[in-house]
Chain A
């Protein structure tokens, strides 16, 4: 299986934009998904099929993909968005998660 690479941490001021990247050799050939996990809670799907937002996920969460890199963007970041974010993809035989990015709202 292959690896998905995320930055360990991202800091953002309230109201500003946070961007988290996820890179992987196979990402150009498969969909990327993103999950938010707050301490002590189960993960929550925030983006699927590269850029689609499930119902109930705020519009400030958006995502895109270009080549081998997917990007999750949180616009107008709020304190409640402080969490760990994981990208995930299917490599043809296994599902892979990135190591996670800790988003801190300062």
Chain B
């Protein structure tokens, strides 16, 4: 069974750093792209970026380029999303999602989401 299990909710202050995780199981981690998606409170889905764990090829949305870093640890079957300096506007739910093998396959499997709250 394919599973993407994300790390738990986080509360941080502005300016702090944070790294959240998405551990996968039930399939070969290196074969599928993993994306990160933001959902701000009461708002829609926003694609942040995507990584191919086999070679760490990473693409970012222009809206998030330079604001976050996406990485992957092949030995631990885990993808990460990190911030160096959080802002209050980073408060949101963040999802990881596995893309299907081929373009157009969509994001077939999703993690349960990690809620991030940034508040003084």
A42 touches B95 (CB 8 A): yes
Say yes or no: B110 contacts A44, CB within 8 Å.
yes
CB pair A97 B110 closer than 8 Å: no
Q: Is A105 an interface residue (CB 8 A)?
A: no
Residues of B within 8 A of A (CB): 35, 37, 44-47, 50, 59, 61-62, 95, 97, 100, 103-108, 110-113
Contact A88-B106, Cβ < 8 Å, known A94-B59, A94-B62 = yes
Which B residues are in CB contact (< 8 Å) with A31? 103-104
Taking A33-B106, A48-B100, A90-B103 as contacts, is the C-beta distance between A99 and B47 under 8 angstroms? Answer: no
Query: Which residues of A, 42-98, contact B by the 8 Å Cβ criterion?
Result: 42-45, 47-50, 54, 84, 86, 88, 90, 93-98
Contact B105 A49, beta carbon cutoff 8 Å: yes
Distance from A26 Cβ to chain B, minimum over Cβ atoms (Å): 13
Q: Which B residues lie within 8 Å of A97 (CB)? A: 37, 44-47
